A and B are shown apart, each in its own frame.
Chain A
Amino acid sequence: MSNIEHNAFVQKYDLLGCIQCGRCTGGCPVTVRTPLNVRRFVYDTVDDDRLEELSEKPDIWDCTTCNTCAIRCPKGLEPFEVLLGLRAMRAEEGNIEPTARDALESMFNNGNPWGKPAAKRTDWMEGIEGVEKVRILEPGEKADVLIHTCCTACYDPRIIPLAKNLVRVLEAAGVDYGFMGTEEKHCGSEARRLGEEGLFEYFDEENTELLGSFEVNRLVTLSPHCFNSFKNEYTSLDLPVQHYTQLVAELIEDKKLELKNEIGSSVVFHDPCYLGKKNLVFDEPRYILGQIPGVEIAEFFRNKERSLCCEGGGGKMWVESESKEQRLAETRIADAEALGAKIVAVACPFCLLTLEDALKVRGLEEEMRVADILELLGEAL
């Protein structure tokens, strides 16, 4: 067989660059509870004849796409992308978990993975403290900041307060902002992580067109997952992209946002993978927390580049690992408890869900809480 068509994986993921040092697997957080060995996959996928068989392995769904392996690889590879490539083979054949299937079908039909009607995407905008009407942009309209809300923040009652607080912050700081209304769609991040590359490309196209229809200076996202997709994965989006922590840090620095109310607590910040390890935004969240009166910042031993994944990303919302070992989110909460933290601060909807769940499992509802920085800002305003 000719080596040109052959070795599709080898070329796409630069597999021959791998020196099999094992740093990827060595740092992979899910190895404590699943059989995943990403180095092994990087090695095995060199053989095209084995791809079919490898794509059938349940382990490929254990990866949370936390990016630790990519950060650690001395050769600059992104080992976990190989696993996404294998997932793509499964998705293409239609041979995926029903839970993943339902989420993907909903993304296409409703523009969100949650099976919720697109027409209800802006219902959360009702009843925001001190805000008469949330600004929704018409195509062609001008604004400084265009906001992408995140599907979860539009529909999950636990996450909706994040979106509401974001509006309060924007209003309080006098930001010239606008939302996209019910036209807003899923960013495609989780579609890609579930192996649906074609669907991701569809969102890339659709959203690039929609985002381009407004006269804005930048796009700000609520979720780090959307942030990453727009910033790094969209092929022709011509807009600077920021995560909300970056915008808020700027607003505080420029003295546009005043934080008055005290939150007298020890707060530890959990770095979301897609904000921290993937996009190296470490300082802004900490800066914001430091500006909230009364906050004492504690640090996890495993923080920043070495931060422990909460297992909320990478499509893991819809595909559970079989493992009965302690979830990483629980480990994280145990670590926070040991630090004596009263608040575990996050800046991501998925982290909030997984960590809060883990807090309940450990029965610590009375002692501690998990809160998104947006919620803390809401309290401090």
Chain B
Amino acid sequence: MGDILVLAEHRQGELREVTLELLTLAGQLGGNVVALLLGSGVDDFAGKIAGYADKVLVVDDPMFANFNGMAYQAALAEIIKSEKPGLVLIGNTGQGMDVIGALAVELGLPFTTDAVAVKMEGDKPEVTRQYYGGKIDGTIDFKDADTYIVGMREAAIPAGEGGKSGEVAKIDNPVTSEITARKFLEYVEAAIGDVDITQSTLLVSVGRGIREDKNMPMMEELAGLMGADISGSRAVVDAGWLPTDRQVGISGKTVKPKLYLALGISGAFQHVTGMKGSDLVVAINKDPDAPIFQYADYGIVDDLLKVVPALIDKLKEMKG
């Protein structure tokens, strides 16, 4: 089989974890792993990536100081033409999704996105994807080609330890003219203070089970450590422990976070209606029969006032 070309992803001076996940996957698939790093002053990243790749191609150019999908597309197109990899892996992320479809059309290559698993069947990748919100899986049949492009879901597989030590090769920027149709301007962080829970990726959601207002700081500490926002049931909003705009449910907000951590919430229908679209639900409740467990992926049946402090300690440990 041909080489596997992996696009490295970085943002605001940090290499994103998805890069190592893709490189780990490429390593598992066999064949030569070639990483492509587009950036400006990114020697650190190149060093780290080399531990996971047989070769690291680096284009060091101010054009790539920040991400621009159209500039990335132009560079990738040229490099794929010259490197002729058998498979190109790109993260199906905010950056990857801005590139894949257009790149594939430009090169006339078969492609798919949001893969959760990839295997090689000879020279062809066999891709598994999810359909209908993960309710069923499906496998992809590609038209024959010399190169296939696959967008891989973030966190679908864990990043391994690496164990390679590829050479780092700086190459010239193949994009010779500036991209004028689209320009990167700046990053804007979501303003702190005006949290909109309908947009939160992680939610620590509290219910009457937290017992007292004075336990709120503990919940806030947990949320802070996780980078999560705080929401709650109507019971805590009524009690005045949280403002009205943090209420989840039929008369509150509908939320769809990646993680919904329900602490001391019984799971009344009026509440659940507002959070059932969450990707992963974890419930901590001392009542094993609480309806919330019917919606949860993981549950802990215990006193949250004991579990939450322990969890806070664990997370602190993990963060070092």
Residues of chain A lying within 8 A (CB to CB) of residue B240: 324
A191 CB within 8 Å of chain B: no
Instruction: List CB contacts (< 8 Å) of B241-272 with chain A.
Output: 244, 250-252, 254, 268-270
Q: Are the C-beta atoms of A319 and B251 separated by less than 8 Å?
A: yes
Contacting residues, chain A, for B238 (C-beta < 8 A): 327, 361
B32 at the interface (CB under 8 A from A): no
14 contacts between A and B (CB under 8 A): A99-B250, A99-B252, A99-B254, A103-B250, A114-B250, A115-B273, A158-B268, A317-B251, A317-B270, A322-B244, A327-B238, A357-B234, A357-B235, A360-B235
Residues from chain A with a CB closer than 8 A to the CB of B208 are 360
Query: A114 with B269: in contact, given A320-B244, A322-B244 (CB under 8 Å)?
Result: yes
Q: Cβ of A361: which chain B residues have Cβ within 8 Å of it?
A: 235, 238-239
Q: Smallest distance from the beta carbon of A110 to chain B beta carbons, Å?
A: 12
A321 closest partner in B (C-beta): B251
Q: Nearest 4 pairs between A and B by C-beta? A: A156-B269, A320-B251, A318-B250, A318-B251
Docked Cα-Cα span, A319 to B250, in Å, equals: 9
A353 within 8 A of B: yes
Cα of A360 to Cα of B250 in the assembled complex, Å:
19
Query: In the bound complex, how far is the Cα of B235 from the Cα of A360, in angstroms?
Result: 9
Per-residue interface assignment for chain A, residues 306 to 324, with 1 indicating a CB less than 8 Å from any chain B CB and 0 otherwise? 0000000000111110101
Does B13 sit at the interface, judged by CB under 8 A?
Answer: no
- List B273-292 residues whose CB lies under 8 Å from chain A: 273, 276, 291
- Summed over the interface, the residue pairs from A and B with CB atoms below 8 Å come to a total of 41
A155 within 8 A of partner (CB)? yes
Cα-based distance from A314 to B244 in the complex (angstroms):
21
The answer to whether the Cβ of A140 comes within 8 Å of any Cβ in the partner chain is: no
**Are B273 and A114 in contact, CB atoms less than 8 angstroms apart?**
yes
Q: Give CA–CA (A322, B238) in the complex, Å.
A: 11
A102 interfacial contact with B, CB 8 Å: yes
Complex interface: chain A residues within 8 A of B250 (CB) = 99, 103, 114, 317-318
Q: Within residues 95 to 110 of chain A, which ones have a CB less than 8 A from any CB in chain B?
A: 98-99, 102-103
Bound Cα distance from A98 to B252, whole angstroms:
9
- Return B292 CB to nearest CB of chain A, in Å: 11
Judge if A130 is at the interface, Cβ distance under 8 Å: no
B173 CB → nearest A CB, Å = 47
> Which residues 168-209 of B sit at the A interface, judged by CB distance below 8 A?
208
Alpha-carbon separation in the docked complex, A304 to B26 (Å) = 74
Chain B hits for A127, CB < 8 A? none
Residues of chain B touching chain A, judged by Cβ–Cβ distance below 8 Å, are 208, 234-235, 238-240, 244, 250-252, 254, 268-270, 273, 276, 291
Q: B274's closest neighbor in chain A, by CB?
A: A99
How many angstroms between the C-alpha atoms of A329 and B276 in the bound complex?
A: 27
Contact status A158-B252, CB under 8 Å: no
For residue B291, which residues in chain A have a CB less than 8 angstroms away from its CB?
A: 157
Cα A156 to Cα B272 with chains together (Å): 10
Q: Which residues of B contact A102 (CB under 8 A)?
A: 254
- Nearest-neighbour CB distance to chain A for B269, whole angstroms, equals 4
CB closest chain-A residue, reference B294:
A157
Q: How far apart are A318's CB and chain B's nearest CB, in angstroms?
A: 6
Chain A neighbourhood of B276, CB < 8 A: 115
CB distance from A350 to the nearest CB of B (A): 11
Closest A residue to B277 by beta carbon equals A115
Nearest Cβ in chain A — how far from B105, in angstroms?
35
Q: Is the CB of B270 within 8 A of A353?
A: yes
Assess whether B270 is in contact with A99, with CB atoms less than 8 Å apart: no
Q: In the complex, A200→B239 CA distance in Å? A: 36
**Residues on A with beta carbons closer than 8 Å to the beta carbon of B273:** 114-115
State the CA gap A216–B269 with chains docked (Å).
33
A111 to B7, CA, bound (A): 47
In the assembled complex, which residues on chain B have CB atoms less than 8 Å from the CB atom of A322?
A: 244
A375 CB, min distance to chain B CBs, angstroms: 17
Which residues of chain A are near B234, meaning CB under 8 Å? 357
Q: Which residue of B lies closest to A158 (CB)?
A: B269
Using Cβ atoms and an 8 Å threshold, which residues of chain B touch A158? 268-269
User: How far is the CB of A249 from the nearest CB of chain B, in Å?
Assistant: 29
**B117 → A minimal CB distance (Å):** 29
Q: Which residues of B contact A155 (CB under 8 A)?
A: 269
Q: Please, which residues of chain B bring their CB within 8 A of the CB of A156?
A: 269-270
A361 to B235 CA separation, bound complex (whole angstroms): 7
Are B251 and A99 in touch, CB under 8 angstroms? Answer: yes
Q: Mark A286-310, 1 if CB is under 8 A from B, else 0.
A: 0000000000000000000000000
Chain A window 137-163, contacts with chain B (Cβ cutoff 8 Å), 1 for yes, 0 for no: 000000000000000000111110000
Tell me the minimal C-beta distance from B290 to chain A in angstroms: 11
Known: A156-B270, A327-B238, A361-B235. 4 other contacts (CB 8 A): A114-B269, A115-B276, A320-B251, A320-B252
Q: Which residue of A lies closest to B239 (CB)?
A: A361
Q: How far is the CA of A324 from the CA of B268 in the complex (A)?
A: 21
Contacts of A360 in B (CB 8 A): 208, 235
Inside 8 A of A318's CB, which chain B residues have their CB?
Answer: 250-251
Which residues of chain A (51-90) have a CB below 8 Å from chain B?
none
Report the separation of the CA atoms of residues A156 and B271 in the bound assembly, to the nearest whole angstrom: 11
Chain B: which residue is nearest A97 at the CB level? B251
Contacts of A114 in B (CB 8 A): 250, 269, 273
Chain B residue numbers with a CB within 8 Å of A317 are 250-251, 270
A114 to chain B, nearest CB (A): 6
Residues from chain A with a CB closer than 8 A to the CB of B269 are: 114, 155-159
Q: How far is the CB of B132 from chain A (nearest CB, A)?
A: 13
A217 CB, min distance to chain B CBs, angstroms = 33
Closest Cβ–Cβ distance, residue A240 to chain B (whole Å): 32
With both chains docked as a complex, state the minimum distance between the C-beta of B210 and any C-beta of chain A, in angstroms: 14
Instruction: Tell me the minimal C-beta distance from A361 to chain B in angstroms.
Output: 6
The chain B residue with its CB closest to the CB of A316 is B251
Q: Which residues of A contact B252 (CB under 8 A)?
A: 99, 320
Question: Chain A residues near B254 (CB, 8 Å)?
Answer: 98-99, 102
Shortest CB distance B273–A (Å): 6
Q: Which residue of B lies closest to A115 (CB)?
A: B273
Interface hits, A261-309 → B, CB 8 Å: none
Q: A353–B271 Cα gap in the complex (Å)? A: 12
Taking the closest CB of chain A, its distance from the CB of B213, in whole angstroms, is 14
Q: Which residue of A lies closest to B249 (CB)?
A: A99
Q: In the complex, what distance in Å separates the CA atom of A115 from the CA atom of B270?
A: 11
Closest to B234 in A: A357
Q: Measured between C-beta atoms, what is the minimum distance from A116 to chain B in Å?
A: 9
In the complex, what's the smallest C-beta–C-beta distance from B263 to chain A, in angstroms?
Answer: 17
